[in-house]
């Protein structure tokens, strides 16, 4: 990781706007060719989540609940609704687009979210992709019941959603939006008396946990950079009876997922991109953590009221 810092620094310098010139980006925008704003995994079993956020609504000045809300479909549905769910629809002429609870640069939303869970009432053990359009979970890999209960949230970035508009600056915007996502999940968890603790985990290991390394599950196109999801971060959602898993428990979960049967084919993001920005992927590669990283942070991301 340290040896890659000079490259990230040079990327930052190259992709800054200057008085004499803008950073490299597309010369124009074709709004009819905008990348798909939602990803689906066709063929994966789906579980509809309740729109339950109103159950936990409190005035802004109220403190967190003295007793944290137990885990279940209502509480998980509320956390995902308030962090990554849709908040409104807008239209102008024939165009119609969604707004979401987490802010996004250009409303492009490169961040995708996945739940990894064990022992959660009403939810099968395994890996589930969150579909904000339908407010549902798409079950990517199911595990046999058993093992220590846990509730993990993995985030990834589809960088082409930002590159389509911002060119070489897309990596910067994906990191900005990742911060927005972390803030949103912290506030949503706080509402239920939960906490979110980040994990420093090797990038390839995170890709395996989320199924992002499974090229056979993603569209085969001449432009794989449009379909790729960059593994970003793993969080432990700390709720009643759900401490962060130990390194040994996490390694056992990795082994089980490697042997699991994965389901669903990822939908297409963009079949025919108009530009190529190889610097974005180079910056992403330079920022990845090596696989010997495995440590829970001693602090939690907290939403303040």
d(CA 146, CA 89): 41
> Per the domain annotation, does 305 fall within a domain?
no
For the chain, what is the domain count?
1
Q: Which two tokens stand for residue 49?
A: 């989540």
Render pLDDT for 122-172 as a digit per residue (tens, 0 to 9). 999 999 999 999 999 999 999 998 888 999 999 999 999 999 999 999 999
Q: What is the CATH number of the domain that holds 150?
A: 3.40.109.10
> Per the domain annotation, does 36 fall within a domain?
yes
| H or E element that contains 41 | strand 41-42
Helix (H, G, I), strand (E, B) or coil at 225: helix
> Per the domain annotation, does 231 fall within a domain?
yes
Nearest to 239 by CA among 114, 150, 145, 136: 150
d(CA 187, CA 182): 9
> Per the domain annotation, does 248 fall within a domain?
yes
Nearest to 60 by CA among 181, 184, 179, 187: 187
Q: What is the pLDDT of residue 66?
A: 65
> Per the domain annotation, does 26 fall within a domain?
no
Residue-number span of the structural domain to which 164 is assigned: 2-16+32-296
pLDDT one digit per residue (tens) for the chain, 305 residues? 556 889 999 999 999 998 988 989 988 888 888 999 999 999 999 999 999 999 988 776 776 666 789 999 999 999 999 999 999 999 998 889 999 999 999 999 999 999 999 999 999 999 999 999 999 999 999 999 888 899 999 999 999 999 999 999 999 999 999 999 999 999 999 999 999 999 888 999 999 999 999 999 999 988 889 999 999 999 999 999 898 888 888 889 999 999 999 999 999 999 888 888 999 999 999 999 888 877 766 667 766 55
> Per the domain annotation, does 134 fall within a domain?
yes
Do 76 and 123 touch, CB atoms closer than 8 A? Answer: yes
d(CA 4, CA 287): 7
> Per the domain annotation, does 148 fall within a domain?
yes
> Per the domain annotation, does 304 fall within a domain?
no
């Amino acid at each position: 990781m340290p040896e890659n810092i000079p490259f990230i620094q040079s990327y930052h310098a190259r992709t800054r706007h200057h008085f004499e010139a803008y950073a490299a980006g597309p010369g124009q925008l074709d709004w009819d060719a905008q990348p798909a704003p939602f990803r689906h995994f066709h063929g994966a079993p789906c579980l509809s989540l309740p729109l339950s956020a109103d159950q936990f609504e409190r005035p802004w000045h109220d403190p967190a609940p003295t007793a944290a809300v137990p885990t279940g479909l209502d509480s998980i549905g509320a956390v995902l609704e308030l962090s990554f769910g849709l908040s409104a629809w807008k239209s102008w002429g024939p165009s119609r687009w969604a707004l979401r609870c987490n802010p996004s640069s250009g409303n492009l939303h490169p961040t995708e979210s996945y739940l990894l869970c064990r022992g959660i009432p009403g939810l099968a053990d395994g890996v589930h992709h969150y579909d904000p359009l339908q407010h549902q979970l798409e079950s990517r890999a199911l595990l046999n019941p058993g093992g220590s209960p846990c509730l993990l949230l993995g985030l990834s970035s589809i960088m082409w959603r930002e590159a389509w508009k911002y060119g070489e600056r897309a990596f910067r915007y994906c990191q900005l939006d990742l911060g927005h996502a972390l803030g949103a999940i912290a506030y949503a968890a706080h509402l239920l008396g939960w906490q979110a603790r980040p994990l420093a985990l090797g990038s390839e290991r995170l890709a395996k946990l989320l199924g992002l390394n499974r090229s056979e599950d993603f569209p085969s196109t001449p432009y794989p950079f449009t379909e790729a999801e960059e593994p970003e971060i793993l969080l432990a959602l700390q709720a009643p009876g759900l401490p962060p898993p130990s390194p040994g428990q996490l390694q056992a979960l990795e082994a089980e997922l490697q042997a699991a049967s994965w389901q669903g084919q990822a939908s297409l993001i963009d079949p025919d991109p108009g530009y190529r920005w190889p610097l974005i992927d180079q910056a992403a590669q330079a920022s990845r953590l090596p696989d010997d990283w495995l440590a829970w942070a001693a602090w939690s991301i907290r939403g303040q009221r």
